[in-house]
Amino acid sequence: MPDKKDEGPKSKDKRSKNAGADEMVATGLANFEAFSKAMFDAGMRAQGLATGLMPETIANPAEAMEPPNPDPFGLAPDFKEVFSKIVANPDAVLKAQTDLWQGYSALWANAMQRAAGEETEDAIKPAAGDRRWRAPDWSENPTFDLIKQSYLLSSNWLNDLVANAQDVDPKTKKKVAFFTQQMTDAFAPTNFAMTNPEVLRATMQSEGDNLKKGMENFARDMKSGGGSLKVSQTDTEAFEIGKDVATAPGKVMFENEILQLLQFEPSTETTYSRPLVIFPPWINKYYILDLRAEQSMIRWLTDKGYTVFVVSWVNPDASLKDKNFEDYMQDGIYASLDAITQATGEEKVNAVGYCIGGTLLAATLAHMAAKGDNRIGSATFFAAQSDFSAAGDLLVFCDETGIAEVVRKMDEAGGVLDGSAMAETFNMLRSNDLIWSNVISNYMLGRSPRAFDLLFWNADSTRMPKALHLFYLNQFYRLNAFAKGEMVLGGVTLDPKQIDIPMYVQSSRDDHIAPYDSVYRGARLYGGAQNDKVRFTMAGSGHIAGVINPPAAQKYQHWTNKALPDTADEWLAEAVEHEGSWWPDWHKWLSRRSGKKMYARKPGDGALKPIEDAPGRYVKVKS
């Protein structure tokens, strides 16, 4: 028998351990009870929010609108065509299935080895730059690592199956591949509370408070979207136009139905004699060029000695639904050139076009070349396309079915396309970064959107007239008429090869809206490309950050190459990489084409007198 003297301490130790375990259980039960109560409260809160929203969306079910078209982009026949071709190739299907099962076999074998404490290699790794899996749990926790790799194997299998389909029309395959990627992105385990370790941890730590706050955020975004979910990307109340952004001093010197022309105050004693005018995209507001002072391209340009004019496009309502592409050429670019001559006395300007504004500028330059009008001495393009044969994923929205859906939306809105519709389309090009990350943060983690000037600008989109937008979609995206020399404006057939002025064409490596290959093809369209008048450059980052990259930030990089070989890949292979912003390279190029220095001219020095202070009225009109 054991000695009784020895039994006491052991029993005491056992009781101590049991007490600790009992305490842990009690604490766990208390936490679980609190957690369950929080989940119940969250559910009741959700019911209340839903009830509160119903009167605003469907006040009377008997008078409810027709249900939306379940297939607005006509995907059913396209998916049917692609998958019928896949099934018709049993060897390819068998290989895909074999690869998938081999991948799962390796995954399970690795999981067993890891459970036994052995080091293993992943069966599959996320693509470089895929930020969905940044939380350590996705690598360190065996369960979540298994979930992650299982998802990657399955999603890659499905996407590869579509990508490798044979004997399919390339446009149809591209469309099906795009929406298949959207589907697999949507079903990622990161997007579901019960399979997202960050959400589970936040829910346990806050006893469900994150979900309650998330539901409040969800209700707010539903209300903001008028009954449709409009996922917030930023705090839209954190900035005020003219106070926090769009603050560069200047005056509105001219206006008409579609634009205000702003001239900015000089910040140097002398300026170049030739003015610089910038035509931004009309889908967004001009102040992407004038965010916080340290990011402002407008302030940087005035500090370099340029007399800067910028167009602030109208945010059109239904009364302007019939304004078309030719109107934006005549009352936009031509009217601005006339006004700048009156304001400065200068006959020639240097012009810049950003994104769609650059597409309009290119078309206008071809029109001017045909008319013998040489008032634009040089042209710079920021992320602007003129050859749309490789225009990227946006092409999938521009077939007949997609355009018909856009027409339906514009007709419902009285003849304009709401800016949020295009914003949603752009967000889909980077859905994990711009949609799902915000869904997780706003609705699952219950966080308030952060204040960020660039995202504030991104949310401040503008409407577009029906006639203008349909011309753009059909003539550029669907028909690529400008690049083919088949576009007619003002009775003139436009030929880009007639454009023979110096050009600076900027692109961005990670641009999803204007891919660098597409921009490069446009650079080679112009007559000046044949006699070394076109300089092509590429910046790091994407459509916005690649352009708006002040040198002081010391971010990203850019590439230069004086040659214009047949393809963008050939150009890049021989290009020289430079650290930091491309702006100094552009300034060096532009300054040589800007005339002599003169005493700095101020708004109002010429024949035109100021109408109001910058940023003007037009930019403040909300959609």
* Res. 3: pLDDT tops 80: no
Q: pLDDT, tens digit, for every residue of 147-158?
A: 999 999 999 999
* Res. 60: pLDDT tops 50: no
In 3D, which of 317, 270, 308 has the Cα closest to residue 290? 308
Higher pLDDT among residues 46 and 397, named by residue: 397
* Res. 29: pLDDT tops 80: no
Q: Measured at the alpha carbon of residue 309, what is the angle toward residues 306 and 310, in degrees to the nearest 5?
A: 130
* Res. 354: pLDDT tops 70: yes
**String of DSSP letters for 255-312:** E-SSEEEEEEPP-SSEEESS-EEEE--TTS-GGGGSSSGGG-HHHHHHHTT--EEEEE
* Res. 456: pLDDT tops 50: yes
Mean pLDDT, rounded, for 505-523? 96
Clarify whether 355 is annotated catalytic: yes
- Which amino acid, 516? Y
Helix spans in 541-617 (H):
568-574, 583-591
Q: Name the active-site residue from 86, 298, 352, 355.
A: 355
Mean pLDDT, rounded, for 392-404? 91
Q: pLDDT, tens digit, for every residue of 403-441?
A: 999 999 999 999 999 888 888 888 888 898 889 999 999
Structure tokens at 509: 């490596």
Report CA-CA distances (Å) from 511 to 182, 368, 562: 18, 29, 22
* Res. 8: pLDDT tops 50: no
Which pLDDT belongs to residue 246? 97
8 Å CB contact between 112 and 142: no
In 3D, which of 274, 260, 341 has the Cα closest to residue 306? 274
Which pLDDT belongs to residue 45? 57
Which pLDDT belongs to residue 6? 40
Which pLDDT belongs to residue 70? 77
Q: How confident is the model at residue 511 (pLDDT cuts 50, 70, 90)?
A: very high
Mean pLDDT, rounded, for 460-474? 95
The Cα 553–Cα 574 span in angstroms is 27
* Res. 27: pLDDT tops 70: no
The Cα 281–Cα 459 span in angstroms is 14
Q: Residues of the chain with pLDDT > 70: what percent?
A: 89
Residue 577 Cα to chain centre, angstroms:
25
DSSP-derived 3-state class of residue 133: helix
Dihedral (C-alpha) 430, 435, 440, 442: value to the nearest 10 degrees? 140
The secondary structure of residue 531, as a DSSP letter, is G
Structure tokens at 484: 């083919």
8 Å CB contact between 516 and 538: yes
Structure tokens at 618: 């037009």
Task: Return all residues near 485 (Cβ < 8 A) that are at least 6 apart.
Answer: 493, 494, 495, 496, 497
Domains and CATH numbers, the chain: 75-224 (no CATH), 250-392+482-620 (3.40.50.1820)
Mean pLDDT, rounded, for 281-285? 94
Which pLDDT belongs to residue 265? 98
Q: How confident is the model at residue 145 (pLDDT cuts 50, 70, 90)?
A: very high
Structure tokens at 387: 């050859």
The Cα 280–Cα 287 span in angstroms is 9
Higher pLDDT among residues 603 and 119, named by residue: 603
Most confident of 8-12, 75-79, 528-532: 75-79
* Res. 43: pLDDT tops 70: no
Which pLDDT belongs to residue 116? 87
Higher pLDDT among residues 316 and 6, named by residue: 316
Q: pLDDT, tens digit, for every residue of 176-222?
A: 999 999 999 999 999 999 999 999 999 989 888 999 899 899 988 88
The Cα 128–Cα 456 span in angstroms is 28
The Cα 258–Cα 270 span in angstroms is 32
8 Å CB contact between 488 and 325: no
Cα torsion angle, 143, 145, 148, 153, sign: negative
Which pLDDT belongs to residue 61? 45
Q: How confident is the model at residue 32 (pLDDT cuts 50, 70, 90)?
A: low
Dihedral (C-alpha) 93, 96, 97, 98: value to the nearest 10 degrees? 120
Which pLDDT belongs to residue 227? 75
The secondary structure of residue 82, as a DSSP letter, is H
Task: Return all residues near 178 (Cβ < 8 A) that are at least 6 apart.
Answer: 393, 396
Q: How confident is the model at residue 23 (pLDDT cuts 50, 70, 90)?
A: very low
Which pLDDT belongs to residue 520? 97
8 Å CB contact between 160 and 100: no
Which pLDDT belongs to residue 10? 43
Q: Which helix (H) or strand (E) holds 142?
A: helix 142-163
